[in-house]
Copies of this chain bind each other. A is one copy, B any other.
Amino acid sequence: MTTSSLFRPPVTRRPDPSLAHRRADVRLTLRGPDGAALAGQDVVVRQTRHAFWFGCIGFDLVDLANGDSRDPGYDQLLADAWLDVFNQATLPFYWGTFEPERGVPRTARLRRAAEWFAVRGVVVKGHPLVWHTVQPGWLLDVAREGGDRVTAAGLAEVERLQRERIRRDVTDMAGVIDTWDAINEVVIMPVFTAEDNAITPLARARGRVETIRIAFEEARAANSSATLLLNDFDMSTAYECLLEAVLEAGIRIDRLGLQSHMHQGWWGEEKTLDVLERFGRYGIPIHFTETTLLSGELMPEHVVDLNDWQVDEWPSTAEGEARQAEELEAHLRLLLAHPDVEAFTYWGLSDRGMWLNAPGGLLRADGSPKPAYDRLRDLVRGEWWLAPTTLRTDAEGRVRVTGFLGDYEVTLPGVRDAAPLPFSLDSPGAVERTLRLA
């Protein structure tokens, strides 16, 4: 029979807490412009970028990037803290806030924000191209053809507009944003009841798989080199089954997005390992796209839709901050230990303006760092980072360095006018690099 299935036998890659799979052990040979080994020379090696994506949302910096911050001092503080740790930003492309007035998308504004990050060496992801919430009101009117019931003709028009929206925005951002959450939360999409919207009935009419196909097909057509994610919060077997449906349908998912908004408490080691093992078996690299850990009281377990928990005050506490730091470190170590995980994105830097008013930031509302921020920085720019390190080359001009996969540069303080020599570590284990001064 003909089949377009992309389902493959399962991949089983075991976690390795030593993180050996994240490190390379490089022997650098340094040569002068004439090719002769630079023997007995002091060199300084330093890391300039992580290959792993340590990300955060960049929503709060859109104003600053556009030069219209309402609190420039605070926003600059945020920006400094942000850039001191993270190398991947997720920017908001919720249709309802991106194009609240039909035909007037905030393209220029978001493009400037994306460029602000990009010029600072940050990878930018757009989130999301298709989702059933944060919809523009006018889209529901389209679905209802101006009446009070969704019609088949209305849905056909919604599909056309959704496709057009994807093509437009992916095209407009190409080169600056080449990674997209193509579609968000499809497990629940056709059965979502909390809010009337135009996308739920579309997903119901077309089916989950065809709705996913719309998103991937249009985004791929607009930017063939884009990295496209399927993203969901549902870590149950439902998401496995959905993924199997998508693979059976022959739709190529570049990266698998797993949310982890842990407002009800850290998953803990057992659940985290279970999720990694279950979702890792599809052989699709995993992005932890949305992580939240609270530094205050937890949300009660009985709450199913986190949006149902609305409180006025939700303070960060000393005890909560200590716990958050512990849990963030434990969680991150588990993620990095798993070879399938490529990215980790924290969902909000500061408590000011946090989703649900929750104390989930890494900075307090006043901008001061919580222990979790310091802990994260200690890992990302400390334990897992090669700070400038002075070494002396041997008789063959060689030095040995071990570091996390990423970008590096070598400077030669003893050589006049020597430009820094960049190199990259792309794959783990022992490697050789020869660098030659110009």
Chain A contact residues, CB within 8 Å of chain B: 1-5, 7, 9-10, 187-188, 190-191, 204-210, 234, 236-242, 244-246, 248-250, 278, 281
Contacts of A237 in B (CB 8 A): 187-188, 191, 234, 238
> What is the predominant secondary structure among interface residues of chain A facing chain B?
helix
Contacts of A188 in B (CB 8 A): 237
CB of A281, distance to nearest CB on chain B (Å): 7
Q: A2-B2, A3-B249, A187-B238 given; name 7 further pairs at CB < 8 Å.
A: A2-B4, A7-B210, A9-B205, A188-B237, A238-B238, A242-B245, A246-B248
Are A249 and B250 in contact, CB atoms less than 8 angstroms apart?
no
Contacts of A278 in B (CB 8 A): 191
Contacts of A2 in B (CB 8 A): 2-4
Are B208 and A250 in contact, CB atoms less than 8 angstroms apart?
no
Among the listed B5, B238, B281, which residue makes an inter-chain contact with A204, where contact means beta carbons less than 8 Å apart?
B281
Contacts of A210 in B (CB 8 A): 7
CB of A282, distance to nearest CB on chain B (Å): 9
Q: How many Å lie between the Cα of A142 and that of B381 in the bound state?
A: 51
Q: How many Å lie between the Cα of A234 and that of B237 in the bound state?
A: 10
Smallest CB-CB A-B distances: 8 pairs: A245-B245, A238-B238, A241-B241, A241-B242, A248-B248, A248-B249, A244-B245, A2-B2
Contacts of A241 in B (CB 8 A): 187, 208, 238-239, 241-242, 244-245
Q: How many Å lie between the Cα of A1 and that of B281 in the bound state?
A: 27
Are A1 and B208 in contact, CB atoms less than 8 angstroms apart?
no
Contacts of A244 in B (CB 8 A): 207-209, 241-242, 245
Q: How many Å lie between the Cα of A239 and that of B187 in the bound state?
A: 11
CB of A53, distance to nearest CB on chain B (Å): 28
Q: Which residue of B lies closest to A236 (CB)?
A: B238
Contacts of A10 in B (CB 8 A): 204-205, 207
A-B residue pairs in contact (CB < 8 Å), sample of 11: A3-B4, A10-B204, A10-B205, A10-B207, A187-B241, A188-B237, A207-B244, A208-B240, A234-B237, A238-B240, A241-B245
